[in-house]
Amino acid sequence: MLLHEQDDILVVDVRDAHELETTGKVAGALNVSRGMLEFKADEATPMHDKIFSKDKTIVLYCASGGRAALCGKALLDLGFKDVRNMGSIKEWIEASGKVEKM
């Protein structure tokens, strides 16, 4: 079983929606743009999405890895323990990773 196909792992694409139109996203990934991540991940906000569980490994990626790094820091600051930066969608595609077209 691949990392992104496990129930205890959440793969999050932090790019803006218009970026997904060109490349698609990692198969099974959740898209939450960089600007919305804290609202979705923080249990204290009304916009919290229960899919963000501190028991899960959170794997982030974006176009180049930079936004994913910033999001990783934000999640760690919110108390998430296992946060990883997968890097870029380009690297995923070049490694023949599965992609869902939008």
| Domain span at 50 | 3-100
pLDDT band at 31 (very low <50, low <70, confident <90, very high): very high
pLDDT on residue 102: 82
Using CA atoms, how far apart are residues 89 and 67, in angstroms rounded to an integer? 12
Instruction: Classify residue 68 as exposed, middle or buried by CB count within 10 Å of its CB (0-12, 13-18, 19+).
Output: buried
pLDDT band at 2 (very low <50, low <70, confident <90, very high): low
| Total domains present in the chain | 1
Using CA atoms, how far apart are residues 7 and 60, in angstroms rounded to an integer? 16
- CATH number assigned to the domain comprising residue 93: 3.40.250.10
Name the residue among 17, 12, 3 with its Cα closest to residue 71: 12
pTM of the model: 0.92
Averaged pLDDT, 36-48: 97
pLDDT on residue 1: 43
